[in-house]
Amino acid sequence: MIRTLDARTLGADAVAAALERSPEQVAPAIHAAVDEILAAVRARGDAALIDYTARFDRFAAASPAALAISPDDFSAAERAQTPETRAALAYAAERIERYHAAALSKSWRMTDEHGSVLGQEIRPLDRVGVYIPGGRAAYPSTVLMTAIPARVAGVREIVLVTPPGPDGSPDHSVLAAARIAGVTEGWRLGGAQAVAALAYGTGTIRRVDKIVGPGNIYVALAKQRVFGEVGIDMVAGPSEVIVIADAAADPEWAAADMLAQAEHDPMARAVLITDDDALIAATARALDRQLAALPRREIAAQALRDNGALIRVASLDDAVDLANRFAPEHLELLVRVPAALLPRVRHAGAVFMGRHTPEVVGDYVAGPNHVLPTGGTARFSSPLSTEDFVKRASVIEYSPAGLAAALPHLRTLTALEGLAAHGLAAEMRKEGAWGSSAAGPPCSKETR
């Protein structure tokens, strides 16, 4: 069912090649459909939203206002949750908020040897859109993971879009999570049409500055298309986990952690890398036993068969080096001393340390974000965070001495690039130049 690969004999290159995914081929018809939806919403606004919601979600909205999720809807959804659900959402929300508040970027200043002040100002985005999928599953945890960092960052308007059911009601657990997370506005919209509404705006819905959150292939393509009109977080692919384990690891735990990712999607990747032959054999048996009892066993079985592997390496150092080649979304260090391996980890979305840290705690309650780079993009990108909801502006305030020290270098560099006006703008400000102007230097209100 799941392949076994020996990196000691095959070599790391061959193992990596064996697990390479073929480039995902998106049918031309899907590309065309996304382009058509984006163009229609841009041209027809609310009318297009009503048409597509009736067509794809089977909800006939009588007017654009019927697409709105009212404050009473959010309140009713929250009241409808069991005490256990409310407690779990509140527990997760508190931990997510605490973590992201600690990671919040701050404005700063430094003063150089000439008294010139340099620094950075952090400003939150004004308005962001949070896309939450619907359909066969509900994702209240993703509401918390996307909306809470935005609120912590200082975003004033957080707009939820999520597909309705045929009766027009979005999932109640999603709305309850949105209420807890601080969402300020909601719309019964899904698919590429929801992305278009957030990116372009309509007569009823105002455009946002950035769109975050996962979705199906139509949502992913729409986010790619509207980037530049608005910001986006990332384009998420299938879920991934690599478990690095030593001889002391429990094979049942390793198998369970692999299946927790494999059940997501037939394209999900679940890989064990170890320096112990016995663990490979025991984990293969554990996978078979646990898989038989899973409600989503067909999905998980296909994921293990097509994208999974049990890999034997010569050492744990080799295991980390191989994992770096995949730059996985989730990396578990299921070993006796995980801190000894962590310095070697260069590429991973999130690292889970030790026996008592299953990846699932990161999905729901640990605090760090579960919106993570996939498909090897952890080589150059990071988890969703408060940094995704702020902008940075450089601040430069030169002193007379600082400008005097810079002038010789400015003369050289502006001449080198043939930009005479650049050089003149600096030369005019050299010491004593203010005296040539009858108006004198510019003054603040305090010095006038």
Beta strands in 246-347 (DSSP E): 269-274, 309-312, 330-334
Furthest-apart CA atoms within the chain: distance in Å: 89
Residue 104's SS3 state is coil
Residue 332's SS3 state is strand
Residue 57's SS3 state is helix
- Sort 394 into a burial class: Cβ within 10 Å, 0-12 / 13-18 / 19+: exposed
Decide if 31 is catalytic. no
Angle between helices 191-200 and 217-226 (to 10 degrees): 20
Helix (H) or strand (E) holding 297, with range, is helix 297-307
Decide if 100 is catalytic. no
Which residue out of 97, 185, 329, 332 is catalytically annotated?
Answer: 329
Around Cβ 70, how many Cβ atoms within 10 Å? 10
Which residue out of 100, 330, 359, 370 is catalytically annotated?
Answer: 330
Distance of CA 265 to the CA centre of its chain: 18
Give the N- to C-terminal CA distance of the chain in Å, as an integer. 82
- Sort 393 into a burial class: Cβ within 10 Å, 0-12 / 13-18 / 19+: exposed
Under 8 Å between Cβ of 369 and 94: no
Give catalytic residue positions.
Answer: 329-330
